[in-house]
Structure formats: structure tokens, C-alpha cells
Amino acid sequence: MKILITGANGYIGSRLAPCLAEEGHELIALVREPQRLHWEDPTLERTTIVQGDLLDLPSMGSLPKDIDAAYYLVHSMRTSHHDFPRLDEMAAKNFVRLLDNTSCQQILYLGGIQDVSASSRHLQSRREIESILEKAKAPLTVLRAAIIVGSGSASFEIIRALVEKLPVMIAPKWIKSLCQPIAISDVLYYLKGALCHPCCFGKTFDIGGPDILSYEKMLLDMAEVRGLARKILPVPVLTPRLSSYWLYLVTPTNYYLARSLVDGLKNDVICHNSHIRDILPRKCLPYKVALEKAFDKIAQGGVSSSWTDAISSGRTSPKFFAHIHPPKEGCVEMSFTKKCTISPKQVYACFTDIGGKRGWYYMNWAWSLRGMIDKLLGGVGLRRGRVSRRQLRIGDALDFWRVLLIDDKQYRLLLYAEMKLPGEAWLEFAIEEKNGERYLRQSAIFRPLGILGRCYWYALFLPHYFLLKGLLRTILEKAAEE
């Protein structure tokens, strides 16, 4: 079958695609930035890439007319707690317009389990998306899930951050709310199984694992799996706004996602319509087993996707690839060059291994301090880390940077700053050859925004000078050691 996947670069889409390709389906990946599609060759060989943004209908390429089914895996919680419902609605309506011109026989949508009596704006938005998709010519299948447990998922990483960073957690009363988490492997099973299944056409199902747990129990179970002793002290005084700031400061999430999550945590999210178990029987993984599998995946370096991969998870514009060549005009630059006497592959491996848990090699405390300040200013901070300890890919989040370019042939890495700045910033590492000798060049480029931007650059000129010069030296020293 020919299957369209929207949100192909997202956490679910990038995991679902290889499963569908393995079963022999032909895929159509709808993406804003094809450069960020990091599927393996066996999947890409069965994939046609269509570039376009559902929020900008004129930007859309032409979709094949002979589509058999389509997965709608798009959510727009990215910039403002107030505008994501409008963006979600716009994207869904444009999707229906496009799909109605094809031969599509089924739409599959992954939403959230809903408490109709008291839903958050996030869940209300998902319910509105369902009503829009129902108006399409093709019948709709809706799968609703609560927390998805898997390496790289937003829920998993937030729970992990709370448990690993806080020996004692002061939690609001929603800590007693009930949830029915489900493993990512079980979500993928249902998404695949419902595909073109006649009993699923025009139906809505709740999907969940076998455990119904309070959020308090989920945190304590995570602590047990990690071998950590943790205490939770529920208090009645934390408002949704305060709870959102608390999640924002302690975990890798941005404030708007934190606010949307907190609004949903006030209600129980458990399965009420589980008829899919009769149609697609499966023994789903218990919560603790799902956690253990997720950490096994992380230990093996096998995290194929993360919620931070989405450009919308940070503050960057979806058009950030326009910055792939740092501008020359209106910029200030600080560049250092040092002779490279060892293998360029060793040096390249060292500077592309930077960030995340390994840190920034030189004056790591200063990078951590900058991350804390960025968090306080409303930025992304350092807590996003990196998706994989072993490799970087174009579009990956790297602490408060985004990977614009990584080239293992020319030995070059270009990062774009997603921290709060009065301007735009790039950090580049490159190995260059001059007169038969190799040099490692490290450049920091800054395009100041007005007088404030220039004051920022010159006020921090000396700290940046010593920090970046020391970083260049340390990279070569570590490369020589390894």
C-alpha cells in the first residue's frame, strides 16, 4: 500500500516509518525540511519525500493521487500556550483539503485520552482536530493514548528529569491523578494493526498499558528502576501556572509545553473505550518493564528519535535552515585557529562528541551557568542534551544549540544558537588545510540586534575570548589522548 505520513520527522513518525517499510509498504513522507529526515537506507528506499508546511498551503508540493492511507501525526504546541489550538486547526483543515483530492481510504490519528468533563486546552484542541479530520472523505480511525513511555518521548524525559534531579519533590495535588501509560512499542503495534482494518474504520479507541497508576506512583517506580531513593511531598498550593514554571525550570521542556501538560495532569487519563483489544489482541507491557526497555535502548545508544528533534520544541523558526551559511554583513566574529598534528578523524570525532552528559570540555561550569541563565530568561537551557551520545545529525538539538550542518567528509560542524540572545549566533568547528598542514578553526559569529546586541557582545568579549580559546586547545588535547 501507499501510505502518507505527516509529522514524519516527529517522535512517533520516525519510529513508525521503518515498521511500515519493513512490512513492504510504500511511504510518502510529508516534511518541512527534507534535510532533517534521518531514516535509514532501507526505509528511505521505499519513501517518496514531499516538502511542505501544512500551516502554509501554498508551500505544499503535490501529493500523489493514489494514496491508500494517511497517518496524521502533527501537533503544534510550539510557541504560545494560546496560539497552538489555532495552528493545530489550520494544519488539520489544510490536510483535509489536500487529502480529499486523493484516493485515500483511511486516516489514522494519534490523539490523547480525554476527560470530557474537565479537559485541558491541549486535549480540547486534540478533540477539535478529530472533528475536523472526521469531515474528510476518507473514514477516520482515532487512537487515544495517555503518557507514552519510550526513550526520547517528552513524557518519559520529563519524568526522568524530575526523578534524577530532585531527591525530594514538592508536588501539587495533581500528583494523585490517575494515568494509564503505554509503551511506545505497543503504540506502534496499534498504529500498524489499525491500518486498513475494516473494523477500525470510523472508530475511536483508547489505548493503554495494563497498569493504572497515580503520577506519584509513576515517579516512584521510575526512581526504583533507576536505583534512586526519592521522597514526594504533595502540597495543595501550587497553581497550574506555578506548576508549569516548576516543570519548566527542572525539566527539558519549554514553558508552553509544560503549561499544556500541567493542564492535562489535573484530570485522570485512563482508558474508557478499550474495544481495540478485541480487534487487535495484545499483551501490553507493564509500566516498569517499559521503563527498563527504554533505558536499555538509551544504554545501547539506540534512541532513533526524540521530542527535542522537532524544531518546534525550541524557539527556532521552522525556516532555520536559511541560516546554514552564517551571514557576513552586520556580524561580529571571534575566530581561533590551531595547528592540528593528529588525525583529522580523531579531532572531528572529538568536537562532534561535545555537549550533553559529556559537557563542553573546558570551563563546563560556565556553560552550565549560561544554561541556567537562559532557563530563567525563558530559553531552552542545557537540559535538552543530545539525542545520541554516538552521533549528531542535521536538525538535532544539542543543549541550547541546533545542528545546522555536520559533514564527516569536510570535517565541519555548524551550530545555531537557540538560547535567549539580543541577536543571532553561530558556532563553527572546521578542519582546514593550508600549505600542506592542517588546522582546526573554531569561530563564533554573532549578528547583534540593535544597540543591546552590541552591548552584549562587547560586555562578554573577554569571557568569550578565554572560554573559546581554551575550548579549542582542550579539543585538540582530548583528541590526542583518544
Which tens digits make up the pLDDT trace of 156-212? 877 887 787 778 887 777 788 899 999 999 999 999 999 999 999 999 999 999 999
Residue 37 has pLDDT above 70, yes or no: yes
Residues shown for the chain: 482
pLDDT digits 0-9 by tens, 430-461: 998 888 889 999 999 998 877 888 899 999 99
- Reading the block at residue 27, the C-alpha cell is 511511504
* Max Cα-Cα span within the chain: 73
CA distance linking residue 55 with residue 63, whole number of Å:
16
Question: What is the rounded (10 degree) CA torsion for 91, 41, 357, 261?
Answer: 20
The percent of residues in the chain predicted with pLDDT above 90, rounded, is 38
- Report helix, strand or coil for 447: strand
Tell which wins on pLDDT, 248 or 40: 40
Identify the band that residue 150 occupies on the pLDDT scale cut at 50, 70 and 90: confident
CA distance linking residue 336 with residue 441, whole number of Å:
6
> What residues contact 343, with CB distance under 8 A and at least 6 apart?
none
The radius of gyration of the chain's CA atoms, rounded to the nearest angstrom, is 23
CA distance linking residue 106 with residue 71, whole number of Å:
9
Residue 320 has pLDDT above 70, yes or no: no
Identify the band that residue 306 occupies on the pLDDT scale cut at 50, 70 and 90: very low
Q: For position 204, what pLDDT does the model report?
A: 94
Q: For residue 116, what are the CA distances in angstroms to 77, 354, 390?
A: 21, 46, 44
CA distance linking residue 54 with residue 178, whole number of Å:
34
CA distance linking residue 131 with residue 96, whole number of Å:
11
> What residues contact 85, with CB distance under 8 A and at least 6 apart?
121, 124, 125, 128
Using DSSP bridges, classify how beta strands 26-31 and 2-6 pair: parallel, antiparallel or unpaired: parallel
Average pLDDT over residues 29-56: 82
